[in-house]
């Protein structure tokens, strides 16, 4: 690897954190609530901030990464189905959702994004309300609240 490539992926620091996540999903007139607490890491790399943790549900481990930008948040989950959501309160974004039948494009319409981030501590709180749409039809409405602290 060249020196330039090494510098591109320089991790400045990794701090253990406690992660709390609560999610409410509304689909087809039904609501589901999920909440859990996991150990994770707050990572500073190349001037960006990431939260990484393993989500444990129904006997499965799912790696999750949240990248915090100034006005955007990207959430990536890697399981049987990979989820890659970009929350932008100023415009809708598109997520490619891989199913057993192929790729589906889903529109991510972020209705509310409230991020409080203190990289020095590190600690943070993220609240997101969003809708997923397929071909203009609402697939579901979601509310996510994520908190973490060292």
Burial 132-150 (b: 16+ CB within 10 A, else e): bbeeeeebbbbbbbbbbee
pLDDT band at 9 (very low <50, low <70, confident <90, very high): low
pTM of the predicted model as reported, rounded to 2 decimal places: 0.87
User: φ, ψ for residue 3 (rounded to 5)?
Assistant: -60, -40
Give pLDDT tens digits for 62-101. 999 999 987 899 999 987 778 899 999 999 999 988 777 7
| Average confidence (pLDDT) over 20-46 | 94
Tokens 């494009």, located at residue: 105
pLDDT band at 44 (very low <50, low <70, confident <90, very high): very high
């Amino acid at each position: 690897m060249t020196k330039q490539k090494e510098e591109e992926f320089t991790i400045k620091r990794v701090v253990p954190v406690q992660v709390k996540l609560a999610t409410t999903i509304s689909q087809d007139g039904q609501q589901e609530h999920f909440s859990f607490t996991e150990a994770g890491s707050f990572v500073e790399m190349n001037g960006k901030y990431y939260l990484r943790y393993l989500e444990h549900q129904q006997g499965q481990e799912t790696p999750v990464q949240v990248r915090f930008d100034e006005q955007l948040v990207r959430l990536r989950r890697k399981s049987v189905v990979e989820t890659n959501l970009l929350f932008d309160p100023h415009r809708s974004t598109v997520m490619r959702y891989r199913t057993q039948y192929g790729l589906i494009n889903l529109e991510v319409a972020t209705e509310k994004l409230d991020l409080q981030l203190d990289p020095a501590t590190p600690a943070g709180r993220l609240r997101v309300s969003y809708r997923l749409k397929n071909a203009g039809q609402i697939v579901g409405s979601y509310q996510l609240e994520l908190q973490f602290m060292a």
